[in-house]
Amino acid sequence: DAGVIQSPRHEVTEMGQEVTLRCKPISGHDYLFWYRQTMMRGLELLIYFNNNVPIDDSGMPEDRFSAKMPNASFSTLKIQPSEPRDSAVYFCASSFPSGTDYGYTFGSGTRLTVV
Amino acid sequence: DQQVKQNSPSLSVQEGRISILNCDYTNSMFDYFLWYKKYPAEGPTFLISISSIKDKNEDGRFTVFLNKSAKHLSLHIVPSQPGDSAVYFCAARPLRETSGSRLTFGEGTQLTVNP
């Protein structure tokens, strides 16, 4: 398996534009997580899915953020409209349910810069 | 409310010496703890874990210590090597959480091992 695949690796966009981040989890993993890395708060959980169903989106900062998981192999995180304070690295991770020692497998992240 | 806190944003040590990274948590429901290591431009990768039934877990040069009464854990790296230079994240979860392997992360500590 190629691991968790995120695209794009880097995204630079202008304030007000729509941004879509993509994630392909590891086949067979039934949990998918979106995290955002910032200096102040480290890795913040934005939203997570179980069997394609959103379970907890309380970490989504504002209504400008939305996430979908139309099938077991694909998820998107959308920011519309984007703002400079959204600049961060966004990680997608997938896992089996509790019981595994290693928790999650992370993708390589998308570095978002909003200018 | 930062439930997992890493108070040292950075740590610098000499090659061959011990590196000690610290982590504190506030949620008494946490009983499974993990350390992740992150290199630049990569996602975090699992390093070592410990459950609350233990106070120590060792894997090669890496040892994690857990002090439940103090709600404190630490990661020891002995001897430190330049290749250990990375950001280290502490993470925690309730072991028997039924809603999936949801992890709460700290802010991260940048370790630099000087040759």
Residue count (chain A)? 115
Residues of A in contact with B97 (CB under 8 A): 98
What is the per-residue pLDDT for A1? 63
Q: pLDDT tens-digit profile of B63-73? A: 999 999 999 99
pLDDT digits (tens, 9 = 90+) for B41-87: 899 999 999 988 999 999 999 999 999 999 999 999 999 999 999 99
Segment A13-26 mean pLDDT: 97
Mean pLDDT along residues A76-89:
96
**Residues paired with A47 in a beta bridge:** A34
Per the model's pLDDT, the better-predicted residue between A95 and A76 turns out to be A76
Burial B72-92 (b: 16+ CB within 10 A, else e): ebbbbbeebeeebbbbbbbbb
What are A10's two structure tokens?
A: 């880097």
Q: Does A50 touch chain B (CB under 8 A)?
A: yes
For residue A44 the two structure tokens come to 């913040």
Q: So what's the pLDDT on residue A98?
A: 56
Interval A28-57 mean pLDDT: 90
Quote helix, strand, coil % in chain A, to nearest 5: 5, 55, 40
Q: Does A58 touch chain B (CB under 8 A)?
A: no
Q: Say which residue the tokens 């877990």 belong to.
A: B57
Look at residues A19, A28, A80, A17 and name the one whose alpha carbon lies nearest to residue A51: A28
State how far Cα A14 lies from the chain centre.
20
Q: Which residue has the higher pLDDT, A38 or A7?
A: A7
pLDDT band at A102 (very low <50, low <70, confident <90, very high): low
Over residues B9-17, mean pLDDT: 97
Residue B18 Cα, gap to closest chain A Cα (Å): 24
Name chain A contacts of B102, Cβ cutoff 8 Å.
Answer: 33, 45, 48, 56
For the residues of B29-76, what is the DSSP string, one character each?
Answer: T--EEEEEEE-TTS--EEEEEEETT-SEEEETTEEEEEETTTTEEEEE
Q: Is A108 on the interface with B (CB under 8 A)?
A: yes
**Burial environment of residue A53 by CB neighbours within 10 A (0 to 12, 13 to 18, 19 or more):** exposed
Chain B interface includes A53 (CB < 8 A):
no
With 80 as the cut, is the pLDDT of residue A103 above it? no
Give me chain A's average pLDDT, please. 91
**Average pLDDT, stretch A45-59?**
92
Q: Is the dihedral of CA A104, A94, B103, A91 positive or negative?
A: positive
Enumerate the residues of chain A whose CB falls inside 8 A of the CB of residue B6: 42
